[in-house]
Amino acid sequence: MIAPLSQVLLLLAGSVLLVTLARRLALPTTLAYLALGLMLGPHALGVVSDSNTTRLLAELGVAFLLFTLGLEFSLPRMLAMRGEVFGLGALQVGTTGALCAFIAHALGVEWLPAIVLGGAVSMSSTAILLHQLTERAELNRTHGRLAFSMLLFQDLAFVPFLALAAALAEGADHFNLGESLFAMVGGVLSIGAVLAAGRWLLRPLFHEIAHSRLRELFTLTVLLVALASAWVSHVAGLSFALGAFLSGMMLAETEYRHQIEAVIRPFRDILLGLFFISVGMLLDLKLLVHELPLVSLLLVTMVPLKAAIAAVVARPFTNSRFKALRTGIVISIGGEFGVALCTILLEAGLVPERLGQPLLIAIVLSMMLSPVILNNNKRVARLLLREHAPGLTAVQREDAATGGIARREHVILCGFGRVGQNVARVLESQGFEYIALDLDPARIRAARQAGDPVMYGDSADEELLAKAGLSAASAVVISFSDPATSVGILRSVRRLRPEVPVLVRTADDARLKELQDAGATDVVPETFEASLMLVSHVLMLLHVPVPRVLRTLGEIRSSRYAVLRNIVRRDDAHPLEELSGPREALRSVVVPPGAWAVGRTLGEVRERGVEATFTGVRRLGILGREPAPETVLHEGDIVVIYGQPEELERAESVLLAG
């Protein structure tokens, strides 16, 4: 076995190569990591070991994924989903587990090991499913929501299955109900502890940390909270991921949500890649070739069987056979919990190797095939139901509308944060069209649901700029505060279209020359411009004539703010970092079937203590801005709300209440 540092370098080099190749071929990056683990793992070249440290880091990657997912949820939303989590989740795990246990017993496995085996088959990979659904922007769709409900229950159901497997492996001939109940009570208490800490401790903690203005301290605090909540959950016998998800959900209503997500994302992406690599390491190619007929039979039986059961039990929770079948297809793959349960049974000799080993390989193989299964879930569902695709889906209509703008005169906004959105609203009010580019999936999803022409991607990507209609653009506005990011975008814009005007936002003019050399038509230092606004108001209060005020401001700008640079700095001054930005936010809430709000007016919703502003209601792809209080809400309406985190939480709880 090669040295640990050499293993790390091989993993990094292989990841860079295969992920780049996957992107070029328009394939999911998950496939690249799985292929890398397969090639370098102990069952192929054997240059990377599947150690306890590797598995721990991979589990932490899953925990960070669930932590960031929790940042997109809220407590009212989770309470609204409780029926789906405990109702639908229990039906899926119970039905799949019971049927598979019966089949295993018919093949010669004792009843108790057969029950564990059934539980193993009923599990699906939380990390793979959530990663793929998020990448495809399907997590908030009906089938994504139902699949997520099943995954949450599977995390809870894993505890009794693991307790039974451990008891059988130790030689117990019966299930210890007392120990299992004790483990479940511990799990419930740990969930309560994480929720309580999140409700009453995390916001004050982050308030103090943010006011310290130290980015490294903020990063350390985020890592501490995510890992501590995961540890509490793990000690109670639950998964790392569940505790991390709950703490993220508690932080979702704070003003620091976006900054927390930005801090945790690099750790999440790297460790999550390691998780997918570790899954690829599990596949034994020699055993696969030797047992190919049996593995293939188990695979083509297990995946359709899980899909069919999940689709049937999901049908009462949706008004569409198509959505129920898509849910079943999504949840049909195997999971890491299933691999763990099968491994315990095999090591204890409780399952015959001729059945257990091929089943283990089939579960891992289904996880490796997950990108193919998930990317084609809609196509397969329509094929099985013999339904024709509608003329245009909502996403296709949005893409078509954005493509129409790209062919006309418009402004390209690079960055759709608070500044970018403010510019967009003013342009819109003056009758100018725009297309915005951003890399924040949650922001993109909310903006598209609100009817804004926004595209996901890196603003420095020349292909994306071409799709956004740079050739027809009247101007480009770069609203990112990081000068290095702006320089990269400027160079891409200038390579494609040297003459287009480009306006760049920056904190000050410290890197003014670099931005101008990169091609900026004009640079707006926001600190200096804010000072000029105050100066203009002061001069007018002092009865200085308006022409003289305008002339003074023009002279200051033409001298590149020279007079504003003569300021006295404190020796202990710290750089101001964007850790605690404005608390107001925009959010889109889908009115679910059976909610109290269905058939009610916005005025009636407001009477329940809702103080957030209703900025729009979207129905059947048509957005109505500034809706009247008499507007009646229908099932499936997307209500766009704006306000403080507490106001948004209250509005969401009323709109989602049953």
Which pLDDT belongs to residue 592?
80
Tokens of 402: 């954005």
Q: What is the DSSP letter of 544?
A: -
Is-contact 290 353, C-beta < 8 A? no
- Tell me the helices (H) and strands (E) count for the chain, helix number first: 31, 10
Q: Which CATH superfamily is domain 394-520 in?
A: NAD(P)-binding Rossmann-like Domain (3.40.50.720)
Radius of gyration of the chain (CA): 27
- Low-confidence stretches of the chain (pLDDT beneath 70): 1-2, 26, 50-51, 72, 74-77, 171-188, 190, 198-199, 253, 255, 388-398, 442, 509-510, 560-584, 621, 658
373 Cβ contact list (under 8 Å, min separation 6) = 303, 329, 330, 332, 333, 366, 380
The pTM of the full predicted model, rounded to 2 decimals, is 0.63
Other Cβ atoms less than 10 A from the Cβ of 412: the count is 26
CATH number of 585-656: 3.30.70.1450
Which pLDDT belongs to residue 187?
61
- Select from 128, 160, 141 the least CA-distant residue to 332: 128
Which pLDDT belongs to residue 580?
45
Which pLDDT belongs to residue 578?
45
Domain ranges of the chain: 50-385, 394-520, 585-656
Q: How far apart are CA 411 and CA 313, in angstroms?
A: 48
**What are the strands, taking DSSP E only, across 507-643?**
522-525, 585-590, 613-619, 622-625, 638-643
Which pLDDT belongs to residue 395?
60
Tokens of 522: 């004009």
C-alpha dihedral, 164 to 169 to 170 to 171, nearest 10° = 90
Of all residues in the chain, the percent with pLDDT exceeding 70 is 88
Reduced to 3 states (helix: H, G, I; strand: E, B; else coil), residue 618 is strand
Q: What is the DSSP letter of 200?
A: I
CATH architecture entry for 50-385: Up-down Bundle (1.20)
Q: How far apart are CA 153 and CA 78, in angstroms?
A: 13
Other Cβ atoms less than 10 A from the Cβ of 512: the count is 17
Is-contact 66 130, C-beta < 8 A? yes
Tokens of 146: 């139902």
